Amino acid sequence: MATQRDTALDILTTGVDSFRDHLQESGELHDPCFGEPTQYGTAYHAYGNAVLALLGPPEERPDRLDRAVRGITVALAHTGNPELANFASGFDRITGSVTDRVNHRDFTWPPILKTLRILPRIGADADTVRALRDQVSAVDLEKSFKFRPPCNWAAVWLRGEWIRYREGLSGHTREDIDRLIAVFFEELIDLDLGFYAEPGLPNSYDLFTRLHLAGILADGYDGAQRPALVRLLETGLLRSLDMQLSDGSMASAHRSTGQSWTVGQQAAFFTLAAGWFAGDGGNQDLAHAARTAAVRAVRFLGQRQRPDGPFSPVDNLLPPALRVGYEFYTADAHYSSLALAFLADALMDGYGGAEWPEEPAPAFDARDTVRIEGAPIFRAVAHRGAVSVHLDGDPAESYDAFGIADLVFGPGRSLGFGVARATVGDGRAAIGLALRPGPGRQPLEVLSARRHTPCVPTVAEPHGVLVLDSTIPATGSLPARRHRMSVHLLTDGRNGIEVEESAPGADAHPTLLIPYPLDTGAPDHTAVERLPDGVRLRLADETVEIRVNGGIAGLAVVPAGWEGRRGLYGLARLDLPGPADTVRYRITATA
């Protein structure tokens, strides 16, 4: 029976090798969609091959070593020479044009240095290693790298620079590195919250930055900022455990959440934290929680391999050319390679080792926790059994929506819910209430898409109901509104939530909108079946039912025109009897 380590190694091997045909003779990795190097893919692909040379079958080592050496050689040549043209970093989805060529050398420093460390262990020629070390020593950070602390980019190159310092190749002193780390804590890190507050407050880059700083700590850092890094690892782990949804994904917030690298970095961070708290951290409970979360992340990451194509950089398996769920700066060669490199980090840090259980405990997916985050974050995440729900009280415009930002039902399930964006225009919607001026198929005022006054979620005792209660300012022809939503995670053995949502005092007819993943790139698509009081969604062997108190007056299913992190979305429009300003509904999942 395959161990967890075997499974992770298989995911890494298959993912790295899915780009085999796009590796050039020079060692440069080209993107399978755009046919040229993109951002930092070559360096991370080289690192993935180096780790596989070390941990994989011995008979594959010569080929892996060759790819690692060729890749790191060309990546280092580009990183060390800022006069060379920047690689493609922005892409027009409609025309396929390259729209940006930004200096992303900051991101290449850790994989270059990590690969350099591994090369002697996998039999690299001593003269080759010596020449690469000389080139690493000669890189001028001030010229090659774009950003300085407290930018998240700087945390990346600083992780590599700490390795260069440890290898005796850096011109920086320990005091220099102390000062660079200190800037993060002086400006953007809340130690008590365990949060790195990049503009927009994305969960993705919060963890991204904390992971690189934690890597410095775990790699022997004992300078002036060690107490702060130790504290951040603990409070950040607690936050990350709460931000991980039951299917292994990360709670949505602002940009990049639906990228595969956010799952890979969870695997890397939780593995690193598990090792730390099993050792120096001295907290076996946290170590166990971190191991469990790492397994959850690796399981979800393993679902990102397209059957007949490159490893997917996003949370769906649709073809790269469709670019569904992609940020404009995402391409497969670099963001898939980044995700896989994080998995390689997890394996290097002991993922699936002897102290890890071969099989998850019976309560593996059972949690009963609520996390409320006030200003400036305004979010809540709750877990009960296999259900996770995330509420956003201050959505980022153009990315997020107010209310239910995520709803998932455990590992291995594709029928999860979140924010959907219109393929054309800037429309977006989440599960929730819309208003129409009269009966019938009238135009909709989608409350989740309107700008709200930021509100801190609360918990209504004694039943543990999450509540968002906000106001919506008047805009254009739309009036001001009060918008209230309460969400109860069911405790009666059913796998789901019960919601009461209202626009108090509104003289309107209510509609419940359900954006749902229609096409995730898997063979089966979601079917919608009308019920007297709602709809039933079926995807392969998964079923989710949405039932409305009082029944529905009409149903329209729009099977195109929307998309989200999980793929192409449809929209189920449930027109309810009115007039009324409140709707009560229940969403439950069955096998």
Which residues are within 8 A (CB) of 315 and not within 5 positions of it... i.e. 6 or more apart? 249, 258, 259, 260, 263, 304, 325, 565, 566, 567
pLDDT of the residue at 362: 44
pLDDT of the residue at 360: 56
- The CATH code for residues 368-590 is 2.70.98.10
Helices then strands, counting H and E runs in the chain, come out as 13, 24
pLDDT of the residue at 317: 97
For residues 48 and 60, the answer to whether their CB atoms sit within 8 Å is: no
- The residues pairing with 484 across neighbouring beta strands, listed in sequence order, are 469, 502
Average pLDDT in the 436-450 region? Answer: 95
pLDDT band at 461 (very low <50, low <70, confident <90, very high): confident
**What does the pLDDT look like over 25-54, one tens digit per residue?**
999 999 999 999 999 999 999 999 999 999
**What does the pLDDT look like over 286-310, one tens digit per residue?**
999 999 999 999 999 999 999 989 9
For residues 543 and 536, the answer to whether their CB atoms sit within 8 Å is: yes
Which residues are within 8 A (CB) of 343 and not within 5 positions of it... i.e. 6 or more apart? 8, 11, 12, 15, 264, 267, 268, 298, 301
| SS3 labels along 214-278 | HHHHHCCCCCCCHHHHHHHHHHHHHHHHHHECCCCCECCCCCCCCEHHHHHHHHHHHHHHHHHHH
For residues 354 and 344, the answer to whether their CB atoms sit within 8 Å is: no
Angle, vertex CA 69, rays to CA 294 and CA 177, nearest 5: 60
pLDDT of the residue at 359: 61
| Residue 334: how many other CB atoms lie within 10 Å | 29
| Residue 355: how many other CB atoms lie within 10 Å | 13
pLDDT band at 356 (very low <50, low <70, confident <90, very high): confident
Average pLDDT in the 376-405 region? Answer: 95
Asked if the 4-348 domain carries CATH number 3.90.1150.10, the reply is no
Q: Which residue has the tokens 């993107």?
A: 31
What are the domain boundaries of the chain?
Answer: 4-348, 368-590
pLDDT of the residue at 326: 94
- CB contact burial 125-137 (16+ within 10 A = b; e otherwise): eeeeeeebbebbe
pLDDT of the residue at 365: 56
**What does the pLDDT look like over 406-426, one tens digit per residue?**
999 999 999 999 999 999 888
**What does the pLDDT look like over 159-176, one tens digit per residue?**
999 999 999 999 999 999
Strand order across the beta sheet in which 428-429 lies: 428-429, 420-422, 554-564, 567-575, 509-519, 432-436, 445-446
Which amino acid appears at position 332 of this protein? D
Average pLDDT in the 510-519 region? Answer: 97
